[in-house]
Amino acid sequence: MAQRPFAIIAGVGAGTGAAVARRFAKQYPVALLARSSKFASELVSQIEADGGIAASFQANVSDEESMNLAFDAIKEKFGTKCAAAIFNASSRPFPKPFLWQSQDDLAYGLDISLGSTEFVPTLIFTGATASVKANAWMQPFTVSKHALRALSQTLSREFEPQGVHVAHVIIDGVIRMPLTRLLKLFSAWDAKLDPDAIAESYWHLHAQSTYSMTSEIAIRPFCETW
Amino acid sequence: MAQRPFAIIAGVGAGTGAAVARRFAKQYPVALLARSSKFASELVSQIEADGGIAASFQANVSDEESMNLAFDAIKEKFGTKCAAAIFNASSRPFPKPFLWQSQDDLAYGLDISLGSTEFVPTLIFTGATASVKANAWMQPFTVSKHALRALSQTLSREFEPQGVHVAHVIIDGVIRMPLTRLLKLFSAWDAKLDPDAIAESYWHLHAQSTYSMTSEIAIRPFCETW
Amino acid sequence: MAQRPFAIIAGVGAGTGAAVARRFAKQYPVALLARSSKFASELVSQIEADGGIAASFQANVSDEESMNLAFDAIKEKFGTKCAAAIFNASSRPFPKPFLWQSQDDLAYGLDISLGSTEFVPTLIFTGATASVKANAWMQPFTVSKHALRALSQTLSREFEPQGVHVAHVIIDGVIRMPLTRLLKLFSAWDAKLDPDAIAESYWHLHAQSTYSMTSEIAIRPFCETW
Amino acid sequence: MAQRPFAIIAGVGAGTGAAVARRFAKQYPVALLARSSKFASELVSQIEADGGIAASFQANVSDEESMNLAFDAIKEKFGTKCAAAIFNASSRPFPKPFLWQSQDDLAYGLDISLGSTEFVPTLIFTGATASVKANAWMQPFTVSKHALRALSQTLSREFEPQGVHVAHVIIDGVIRMPLTRLLKLFSAWDAKLDPDAIAESYWHLHAQSTYSMTSEIAIRPFCETW
């Protein structure tokens, strides 16, 4: 029996990750990778209530063994025909001493992600303002986001000639989430990014023809003042 | 009677311009601005045959009076509710002495474009590899494309807070057109950009929510080697 | 008799231009191009009082004929062995409608500059924050500065293999000048750029070996907050 | 007794590191950090023969304890008045699997460098073409060089207001060294970068006034074709 293609979303929180999962679930069964299973389980229920197919898998993207176990479980559940992989995991952008763990282990997680499936036509990484702008007191987040962008670009050069679309999305603003509503952080609600609108752009990147591919987009709300 | 929104495509040649016109014609009546009316007339017929509404207007984007006349004619035909304006006009990227005419007059054309309609929610400029890369012997094309990109960015900063989506598309490759097929220029046919696929990305930019806007994309074929 | 090499500084105002002229006058006779001869004449006197050789030439960099006359006069005075040409002329960065005159004519001035001398080993252009950043309401200045940078880059690609060092200097801050002192514009005096210190970096660019050349630098005061 | 200021060069190989050490030794006693002491010892002898003061310290920049020991030894020998620190250590740019060790530990080394001395007015990092360009098969080198550049930029934003000049030098070409001569790698000898000329630009960065600072330069030979 022909396998049905599915999508993997690594890193599903209340913002971009959940919205991208819902958007891709309109077309594909989705495998959700999350460190904590609570939010991911609720998201699975929500997607199923909307008629989609989803399953959550607990995994720590910075732990190679944890990722291996998760990919084994994904294969058993969905097979090997991965149509798109979205890497949305991230360290928290709060000021702190140099911490590189999530950054260097990210490489392992990614390597596994590419290596464990037969073929991934689309691979999308989630970046941030810090991917292209270097602010003071933000060394770990800035350096890891710059590094992730470099990784995306080198993977793009290496795998696009093989037909893999590797793209990097710079989320250049604050996303509407329960947390950012509660804290009224940084900007008014109207000035915040709509995660469902972001997810449409992720889907457009996946839907692009191989004869017209974009390897990076930045996303801003209309009232972002830069 | 409520006016129906329409789109303007300035610069309709056999590649991106025609494809973008066909794509936007699925949703809107389209006003085509072209220096020569022959190709534009055929495109009007083709769009009408597909069930769309189109009209062509002869205009020289580097001549203020010519643009004024064209915009008067557009208003009479389609009204003032412009939903999207695509600026695809360009000088030819062939080596030649410093020529700035199309570049400085472009500013007038654009100024008119913004000034003559009630409100343009989307304004898209077509750039090229030369918008971000400076090669030898290409001074006029490179300088004008860099300048167009700067213009797009400053307009974006000025008009996005008012809800206008200003975007810049870097066409980073050779487009499939009769001319490029004939001349087998630069690269194999498979390595060339599909203009219909490009047009989908123009449409996606127009369709983006104001709460998640992208101000620049680059488009490449999968086998572009950079 | 062997000619003595000299330097041309086009655009000598109270800030960068005068400081660069003084710095290069420590090594070379300098030809100063200025639209108004008053300030340039005073600068000539000052340089001569310091033991240097200088002469001012009235010229409008946006007027081809004016530039031709000035270059004829320079040749008669200093010969044809130009060691360095600094293009420091600029339109004023004040908000105003699209004005391209200084920008497109700049190309003529430059073309003449390169064409009228035997060989120019160093060609330096003065840019601004607007060369790389696009702010609202600043279209003419931003577009012309982006265009000048693109011109510098394409000239660099074309002429560096011939041993010409083409460099672009981004002055990313407010310069200490009588005008900026008077107006207390934008920032404290301590936060402003020292033009003599800037001139040292122009000189370093000129002094770089052809086996280790820099084609762009940005200059900021230490307390610039970006 | 007033302490004499000294310079630290971390990473002294036959190319940039040695040349920078020789250049700074014209002005300061220099402390050389190297993984292997053989080349560093010869360099010390060479600098002393030229009338300079130098001492080498064995250290592994990716090992916190090793760096602590080296900084203790430097303090004992030269005191705490460090005038400039040049971070020239690097992993090798050869294709290989993801390796982050030198990269993430680099952060520790740097932190120690800043923390162990009283005050470092100049801190210069050595980058490469891979700092700004992402080629295929070069993930580890590209990602670490992008990360190092991001680190330099964030440190610049944080420490420049305190008067520390943090700069990043992109060595965009092959350097003349015994190894590159032997292997005739990539380009002709004439097309290669002269390390002594590079060192002059490092010195210029150190000599820049705090009222006119450059935070990044790229260095190319004149015949670099990009």
B56 by DSSP, 3-state: which? strand
Q: Return all residues near A98 (Cβ < 8 A) that are at least 6 apart.
A: A139, A140, D107, D108, D111
The C-alpha of A121 sits at a distance from chain D's nearest C-alpha, in angstroms, of 18
CA distance D226 to D220: 9
**Residues belonging to chain A with any Cβ–Cβ distance to chain D shorter than 8 Å:** 97-98, 100-101, 103-104, 107-108, 111, 134-139, 142-147, 149-151, 153-158
Pick A146's closest partner by Cβ from D104, D146, D156.
D146
Chain segment B136-191, per-residue pLDDT in tens: 777 667 877 888 898 889 888 888 887 889 999 999 988 887 777 666 555 676 77
CA distance A143 to A103: 9
Q: What is the pLDDT of residue B55?
A: 97
The C-alpha of C44 sits at a distance from chain B's nearest C-alpha, in angstroms, of 33
**Residues belonging to chain D with any Cβ–Cβ distance to chain A shorter than 8 Å:** 98, 100, 103-104, 107-108, 111, 134-139, 142-147, 149-151, 153-158
- Measure Cα distances from D154 to A161, A163, D193 in Å: 34, 36, 28
Q: Which residue on chain A is closest to B214 by alpha carbon?
A: A219
Pick D157's closest partner by Cβ from A101, A134, A150.
A134
CA distance C8 to C84: 6
Mean pLDDT of the A6-16 span: 89
Pick B157's closest partner by Cβ from C111, C134, C156.
C134
Q: What is the pLDDT of residue B206?
A: 93
Chain segment B109-141, per-residue pLDDT in tens: 333 333 334 457 888 999 889 899 888 777 667
CA distance A186 to C149: 35
A146 contacts in D (CB within 8 Å)?
Answer: 146-147, 149-150
Inter-chain CB proximity A214 and B201 less than 8 Å: yes
Residues facing D124 on adjacent strands: D86, D167
Asked if B101 and B62 count as a contact pair (C-beta separation under 8 A), the reply is: yes
Inter-chain CB proximity C222 and D213 less than 8 Å: yes
Residue A225 has pLDDT above 90, yes or no: no
Q: Where is pLDDT greater, at B22 or A89?
A: B22
Chain segment A165-192, per-residue pLDDT in tens: 999 999 998 888 777 766 665 567 677 8
The C-alpha of D44 sits at a distance from chain A's nearest C-alpha, in angstroms, of 33
Chain segment D177-218, per-residue pLDDT in tens: 777 766 665 567 677 899 999 999 999 999 998 888 999 999
Q: Return all residues near C201 (Cβ < 8 A) that are at least 6 apart.
A: C169, C217, C219, D204, D208, D212, D214
C163 contacts in D (CB within 8 Å)?
Answer: 222
C125 by DSSP, 3-state: which? strand
Asked if C110 and C88 count as a contact pair (C-beta separation under 8 A), the reply is: no
Q: What is the pLDDT of residue B185?
A: 54
CA distance C77 to C56: 11
Residue D224 has pLDDT above 50, yes or no: yes
Residue A214 phi/psi, 5° resolution? Answer: -110, 130
How long is chain A?
226
A222 by DSSP, 3-state: which? coil
Concatenating the DSSP letter of every residue in A126-149 gives EEEGGGT---TT-HHHHHHHHHHH
Query: Looking at residue D61, what DSSP letter applies?
Result: T
Q: What stretches of B129-215 adopt beta strand conformation (E)?
A: 165-171
Q: Mean of the per-residue pLDDT values for chain D?
A: 80
Chains touching chain B, criterion 3+ CB pairs below 8 Å: A, C
Pick C139's closest partner by Cβ from B100, B146, B154.
B154
CA distance A40 to A198: 19
Chain segment A128-142, per-residue pLDDT in tens: 898 998 887 776 678
Q: What is the pLDDT of residue D187?
A: 64
Looking up tokens 């672009």 gives C168
Q: What is the pLDDT of residue A44?
A: 97
- Measure Cα distances from A120 to A151, A163, A198, C58, D72 in Å: 16, 9, 21, 65, 51
Mean pLDDT of the D116-120 span: 49
Asked if D122 and D84 count as a contact pair (C-beta separation under 8 A), the reply is: yes
Chain segment D44-98, per-residue pLDDT in tens: 999 999 999 999 999 887 677 888 889 889 989 998 888 899 988 775 554 433 2
* Candidate from A118-122, B167-171, D59-63, D111-115 with smallest mean pLDDT: D111-115
Q: Return all residues near C124 (Cβ < 8 A) that are at least 6 apart.
A: C84, C85, C86, C87, C166, C167, C168, C169, C202, C205, C206
All structural domains of chain D with their residue ranges: 6-95+104-219
CA distance D29 to A55: 63
CA distance B7 to B122: 9
Q: What is the pLDDT of residue A94?
A: 46
- How many C-beta atoms surround the C-beta of residue B160 within 10 A? 23
* Candidate from A122-131, A144-153, A213-222, C182-191 with smallest mean pLDDT: C182-191
Residues facing D55 on adjacent strands: D31
Pick A157's closest partner by Cβ from D98, D136, D144.
D136
Residue D11 has pLDDT above 70, yes or no: yes
**Residues belonging to chain C with any Cβ–Cβ distance to chain D shorter than 8 Å:** 157, 160-161, 163, 165, 176, 192-194, 197-198, 200-201, 204, 207-226
Asked if C101 and C139 count as a contact pair (C-beta separation under 8 A), the reply is: no
Q: Which fold has domain D6-95+104-219?
A: Rossmann fold (3.40.50)
Residues facing B38 on adjacent strands: none
Q: In what order do the strands lie in the sheet with C30-34?
A: C54-58, C30-34, C6-10, C82-87, C122-128, C165-171, C216-219
Q: What is the pLDDT of residue C225?
A: 53
What is the interface pTM, i.e. ipTM, of the complex?
A: 0.81
Inter-chain CB proximity A100 and D98 less than 8 Å: no
Residue B80 has pLDDT above 90, yes or no: no
Residue D99 has pLDDT above 50, yes or no: no
C111 contacts in B (CB within 8 Å)?
Answer: 98
Q: What is the pLDDT of residue D63?
A: 73
Pick C222's closest partner by Cβ from D160, D198, D204.
D160
D226 by DSSP, 3-state: which? coil
Q: What is the pLDDT of residue D103?
A: 36
The C-alpha of C61 sits at a distance from chain D's nearest C-alpha, in angstroms, of 27
CA distance C213 to C216: 9
A104: confidence class by pLDDT, cuts 50, 70, 90: very low
Mean pLDDT of the D146-161 span: 85
A29 by DSSP, 3-state: which? coil
Closest CA to A45 of A55, A36, A35: A55
Q: In what order do the strands lie in the sheet with D54-58?
A: D54-58, D30-34, D6-10, D82-87, D122-128, D165-171, D216-219
Pick A142's closest partner by Cβ from D135, D142, D150.
D150
CA distance D161 to C96: 33
- Alpha helices, H only, chain C: 16-25, 37-49, 64-78, 101-116, 139-159, 178-183, 195-207
Mean pLDDT of the B59-80 span: 85
Chains touching chain D, criterion 3+ CB pairs below 8 Å: A, C
Share of chain B above pLDDT 70, in %: 78
Residue D100 has pLDDT above 60, yes or no: no
Q: Which residue on chain D is closest to C191 by alpha carbon?
A: D211
Residue A195 has pLDDT above 70, yes or no: yes
Chain segment C116-163, per-residue pLDDT in tens: 344 578 889 998 898 998 887 776 678 778 888 988 898 888 888 878
